[in-house]
A and B are shown apart, each in its own frame.
Chain A
Amino acid sequence: MTVPAVELVNVIKHFGDVVAVNDVNLKIEDGEFFSLLGPSGCGKTTTLRMIAGLETLTSGEILLRGKAIGQTPAFKRPVNTVFQNYALFPHLTVERNVAFGLEMHKIPKEEIKKRVAEALDMVLMGDLSRRRPNQLSGGQQQRIALARALVNRPEVLLLDEPLGALDLKLRKAMQLELKQLQEQVGITFIYVTHDQEEALTMSDRIAVMDEGKILQIGAPQEIYEHPNTRFVADFIGETNFLEGTVSDINGEAIDVSLDDHTIVKAHSDLSVQKGQKVGVVIRPEKINLASSGMVEGKVLEIIYIGTDTRYVVQLKDNTSITVREQNLNSTQANKYKRGDKVGLNWDPANAQVLKK
């Protein structure tokens, strides 16, 4: 096995009494686009800042290509950061901003000039080299910050919500561009975000964090289709959650009995026992509406959102289930009315059993 680009071993960070990062273990492969995803205050930015060297570790170790760097000061680490608010030096031109890291490394002037020009061309900002940062738009500043980091050819590029300050349209465009750029330069990216869609769009793998801990690491599809906790299921996309007890086990096919004794069919790759209290997670788009079905309820709310129609169905025990149906034809949304009795069906493989 190859040495990971970055490895975190039992990393803990306390701020006074507050535990910001609680025993994080992580291996990030070379050339990977890796995202740290979680709500604000989950410790994702602190984790990133510890890799950058801007925060000291309370305990644990960080390895960069197998070499311990936990005690190395930030300026000696071959990693660079794109900061959330770009942190461009306002007293220097764009060109001097990008050249900063190379100047610190005492690279010959000729080469600095060449590499700065290349980096600015790469982010399509070659014409603005003589401007000052305050003469640039947010999107332009973002690109300069990217060039300023990438020009040093770091072993790992750290990005702290770099698109957070941009408007939606620009953010979407930059997501694609960033992903392409990463594939082009082949540098390992560690990307911090609280935007699940952003993480799903760009990442090779995602680590979902909450309260200083990593809950799940996996490819976007794996995280979305097989969340291992209710938190992950809730955080990544919309989800429904049913509670019940295991009533029958047949290999990976599990029957779960809800409180009103309705039996729902689900699937689990975890080992569960009969009688065990479990939860069942099912995504709104994986449920089909019919006149009768596995679970029955009545339509409480119909929300038309153009591409889809969203139905909120109330079950007998008052649990609300959201169902999403694609509007395949123009009258699809008129199929059911409020108060209609409906049945819900799904492929058991799409309903995930979670231990409580």
Chain B
Amino acid sequence: MTDQIPSKTHQTQLRLDYLAKGYASFINRLKQLFFNGYAGLVYLFLYAPIILLVVYSFNESRFPTYWTGFTLQWYRVLFDDHLVGAALKNTLIVATSSTIISTIIGTMIAIGVERYRFRTKPVVDGLLIMPIIIPDIAMAIMLLVFFKLIKMNLGLYTIIIAHVAFNISFVAIIVRARMATLGTAMEEAASDLYANEWQTFWRVTFPLLIPGILGGALFAFTLSLDDFVITNFTSGPGSTTLPVRIVGMTRRNITPEINALSTLMLISAMTLVPLSLWLQRRAKMS
């Protein structure tokens, strides 16, 4: 029994072990603190401007230099600004119609490229991602030249056409990815169960593609909402959209009204993008 009672040296040893352990955990905690702090700084760098933007939209003062008190008056000014109202209306018209058109065309392209073999497929494949890699400014000038060439008056229609032109690619790529993960097994099962091509598409392929199509549409809608460069080049008198209007407003002076407007746009983007991602992820799981 005696050798079970810890001896004095043993106790000292235990205490030393304890101290060593304490030191190691202290170092670990320090390391953790450092890395957490570093990560925190990165996030601060990313998000501080956004937070400031939002905060100063509630500032009483005209100038973003001092905080003088909380107010909602800039939002009131914003809602009374009929130019902003008209721009918002234009933006929604452009975003909605270009989303619908590009979703339909983009989905059709995705199905065609993914399901059928044809000789020009590599070309179509390559052309499909072109609008994504072409710089916005180049695309904007191309479209402007094109509209001038066919003598089309710049206005809402030209903006819509321009937005459809870049949105098709995004929709097609998202829908195509969904198609690729689906494979052909479901369609084969449907045709084995007496469904012709038409029935197979509407009963099986399309319902299974819906998450991808909705994800693509939301993405297109978001892109269309905040496009400035291409819109700026293809818009005409009376067809100003919100981003173009904001840039116009900043030319004169920056008022908290712009902060308020940006905050609202930020909120709408923050709801749309996660929604689009969530739809795509849900599709992947089923």
User: Would A90 and B286 be within 8 Å (CB), given that A75-B194, A100-B193, A105-B194 are in contact?
Assistant: yes
State in angstroms the CA–CA spacing of A105 and B196 once bound together: 11
CB neighbors of B among A58-81 (8 A)? 73-76, 79-81
Q: Tell me if B190 counts as interface (CB < 8 A to partner A).
A: yes
- Docked-complex contact A75 and B195, CB < 8 angstroms: yes
- Docked-complex contact B189 and A89, CB < 8 angstroms: yes
State in angstroms the CA–CA spacing of A52 and B207 once bound together: 24
Q: Tell me if B53 counts as interface (CB < 8 A to partner A).
A: no
State in angstroms the CA–CA spacing of A105 and B192 once bound together: 12
Closest CB of chain A to B79's CB: distance in Å? 43
Residues of A within 8 A of B185 (CB): 83, 85, 87
Q: Tell me if A54 counts as interface (CB < 8 A to partner B).
A: yes
Q: In the complex, which of the residues A83, A85, A91 has the most CB atoms of chain B within 10 Å of its own CB atom?
A: A91
Q: Tell me if A201 counts as interface (CB < 8 A to partner B).
A: no
User: Would A81 and B192 be within 8 Å (CB), given that A89-B204, A90-B208, A91-B207 are in contact?
Assistant: yes
Say whether chain B's binding surface is mostly helix, strand, loop, or mixed.
helix
CB neighbors of A among B194-252 (8 A)? 194-196, 199-200, 203-204, 207-208
Residues of B within 8 A of A168 (CB): none
Q: Tell me if B191 counts as interface (CB < 8 A to partner A).
A: yes
State in angstroms the CA–CA spacing of A148 and B203 once bound together: 16
Q: Tell me if B188 counts as interface (CB < 8 A to partner A).
A: yes
- Docked-complex contact A75 and B191, CB < 8 angstroms: yes
State in angstroms the CA–CA spacing of A90 and B211 once bound together: 13
Closest CB of chain B to A90's CB: distance in Å? 5
Residue on B nearest A74 in the bound complex, by CB: B191
User: Would A83 and B189 be within 8 Å (CB), given that A90-B208, A91-B207, A134-B286 are in contact?
Assistant: yes
Q: Tell me if B266 counts as interface (CB < 8 A to partner A).
A: no
Q: Tell me if B186 counts as interface (CB < 8 A to partner A).
A: yes
Q: Tell me if A104 counts as interface (CB < 8 A to partner B).
A: yes
- Docked-complex contact A100 and B286, CB < 8 angstroms: no
- Docked-complex contact A83 and B193, CB < 8 angstroms: no
Residue on A nearest B207 in the bound complex, by CB: A91
- Docked-complex contact A101 and B186, CB < 8 angstroms: no
State in angstroms the CA–CA spacing of A88 and B189 once bound together: 8
- Docked-complex contact B207 and A54, CB < 8 angstroms: no
Residues of B within 8 A of A83 (CB): 185, 188-189
- Docked-complex contact A104 and B192, CB < 8 angstroms: no
- Docked-complex contact A87 and B194, CB < 8 angstroms: no
- Docked-complex contact B286 and A91, CB < 8 angstroms: yes
CB neighbors of B among A159-202 (8 A)? none
- Docked-complex contact B208 and A100, CB < 8 angstroms: no
Q: Tell me if A245 counts as interface (CB < 8 A to partner B).
A: no
State in angstroms the CA–CA spacing of A256 and B227 once bound together: 87
Additional 15 contacts, C-beta under 8 A, given A75-B200, A80-B192, A80-B193: A52-B192, A73-B191, A74-B188, A75-B194, A76-B194, A81-B192, A83-B185, A87-B185, A87-B189, A89-B204, A90-B186, A100-B193, A104-B199, A105-B194, A152-B193
Listed A/B pairs (17) with beta-carbon separation below 8 Å: A73-B196, A74-B188, A74-B191, A75-B192, A75-B196, A79-B192, A80-B192, A81-B189, A83-B185, A87-B186, A89-B204, A90-B186, A91-B208, A91-B286, A100-B190, A101-B193, A104-B195
**When A and B form their complex, which 8 residue pairs have the shortest distance between CB atoms, in order from nearest?**
A87-B189, A101-B193, A104-B194, A74-B191, A87-B185, A75-B191, A91-B207, A81-B192
